[in-house]
Chains A and B, each alone.
Chain A
């Protein structure tokens, strides 16, 4: 079963929920797909067992064959290849992997070479639990290739938790693709409700089953609960904000190890979403 955890805005506690829910379970795999700002590894200790490069291609121009006709530059919609007077500039981080420049080049001067766009790290958290995360190389614009690689490597996992990137961009769409169920992490504040609605719109467009966890539930107002009722959206749990939680998280510690209340919440969510068999 594949469960994706997402949120409209950052700071709603998505990573907190992902790492703590995962730690509560007795088996499974977690992937942190927020490859621009991966944070999960700051909380999960384990043994780093493997590191892999994720490659993308970029255009290479053979100066001997190039006639500076400029066709590649005219074709490219992303301004990744710019023929100048005596050389052809390639902005590797803008290259979108479409293969267009090579197609239009009349002298076959363009070939594609590999470049590392990021890395994937495999961490053994415990005997039955694996944690993978990806890191986008500074300067690269799109982490989608790394997210796809993370999904590919965990395609056959029996239980997969996907910590998705915040927001509703194409990185998020890529992360949640193929999920059986999505958990939206939301806040009961006016901003939180507004941003959650955007996620709901996205999940409905993608035909996903989903439910909501309201974090910091004692902050804010009741509007969100009215909305969930009206829209017939499942409210999985409400979790209170506690300054103590913030202090514990600031140290990189897991809340389930310090709070019975929080552990109980994770148990309830796990039971509702996964059924009895996955309890600790």
Chain B
């Protein structure tokens, strides 16, 4: 199982990002091998539609679960298409801390629903 966490820097001790779609990096935690990999989020450079692109990057890496601060309407829709679950973390924590919170089942699941109107 792979879990992606949006992150400010490229390691698991870094602080988590304030934004999902334009975060600097994603830290991918692989639960089968117990390892961490950092991936630069190229979606942050997008003029628009960053949410959809960020999800694609994770989808192509076969991520199963994503831990996020918030989700815009495009990201929500894209996560549904890729069948990736999302959970919301509190800010001002490290990547490792929110991962523990996830395993302790303390993170609320974000219901993936079709948004009523994009901006």
A138 proximity list for chain B (CB < 8 A): 117
B119 at the interface (CB under 8 A from A): yes
Instruction: Tell me the smallest distance from the CB of A197 to a CB of chain B, in Å.
Output: 26
B78 at the interface (CB under 8 A from A): yes
Interface of B is mostly: helix
Given A139-B117, A139-B119; A82-B78 close (CB under 8 Å): yes
In the docked arrangement, what's the CA distance between A75 and B47, Å?
Answer: 15
Pairwise interchain contact A82-B117, C-beta atoms closer than 8 A: no
Residue of B nearest to A81 (CB): B52
In the docked arrangement, what's the CA distance between A80 and B74, Å?
Answer: 10
A85 proximity list for chain B (CB < 8 A): 59, 81-83
* Contact pick for A82, options B47, B48, B81, B83, CB 8 Å: B81
In the docked arrangement, what's the CA distance between A91 and B115, Å?
Answer: 13
Pairwise interchain contact B50-A87, C-beta atoms closer than 8 A: no
Pairwise interchain contact B77-A78, C-beta atoms closer than 8 A: no
Proximity string of chain B (37-52) to chain A, C-beta cutoff 8 Å, 1 when within and 0 when not:
0000001001111101
B46 proximity list for chain A (CB < 8 A): 79
B50 proximity list for chain A (CB < 8 A): 79
Residue of A nearest to B49 (CB): A79
Residue of A nearest to B48 (CB): A94
Pairwise interchain contact A89-B78, C-beta atoms closer than 8 A: yes
Interface residues of A, count at CB 8 A: 17
A205 at the interface (CB under 8 A from B): no
Interface residues of B, count at CB 8 A: 20
In the docked arrangement, what's the CA distance between A138 and B53, Å?
Answer: 22
Residue of A nearest to B46 (CB): A79
Q: Which of B96-119 contact A (CB under 8 A)?
A: 117-119
B55 at the interface (CB under 8 A from A): yes
A40 at the interface (CB under 8 A from B): no
In the docked arrangement, what's the CA distance between A82 and B81, Å?
Answer: 9
B56 at the interface (CB under 8 A from A): yes
A246 at the interface (CB under 8 A from B): no
Instruction: Tell me the smallest distance from the CB of A83 to a CB of chain B, in Å.
Output: 8
B59 proximity list for chain A (CB < 8 A): 84-85
Pairwise interchain contact B48-A78, C-beta atoms closer than 8 A: yes
Q: Which of A58-99 contact B (CB under 8 A)?
A: 73, 78-80, 82-87, 89, 91, 93-94
Pairwise interchain contact A84-B117, C-beta atoms closer than 8 A: no
Pairwise interchain contact B83-A91, C-beta atoms closer than 8 A: no
A248 at the interface (CB under 8 A from B): no
- Additional pairs, 11, CB under 8 Å, beyond known A79-B52, A93-B118: A78-B49, A79-B50, A79-B53, A82-B52, A84-B59, A85-B83, A86-B81, A89-B52, A91-B77, A139-B119, A141-B48
State the A residues within 8 Å of B (CB): 73, 78-80, 82-87, 89, 91, 93-94, 138-139, 141
What are 12 inter-chain pairs, A to B, with CB distance below 8 A? A79-B50, A80-B52, A82-B52, A82-B78, A82-B81, A84-B82, A89-B77, A89-B78, A93-B118, A94-B48, A94-B49, A139-B118
In the A-B complex, the 8 residue pairs with the closest CB atoms: A79-B49, A84-B81, A79-B53, A139-B118, A94-B49, A82-B52, A84-B82, A89-B81
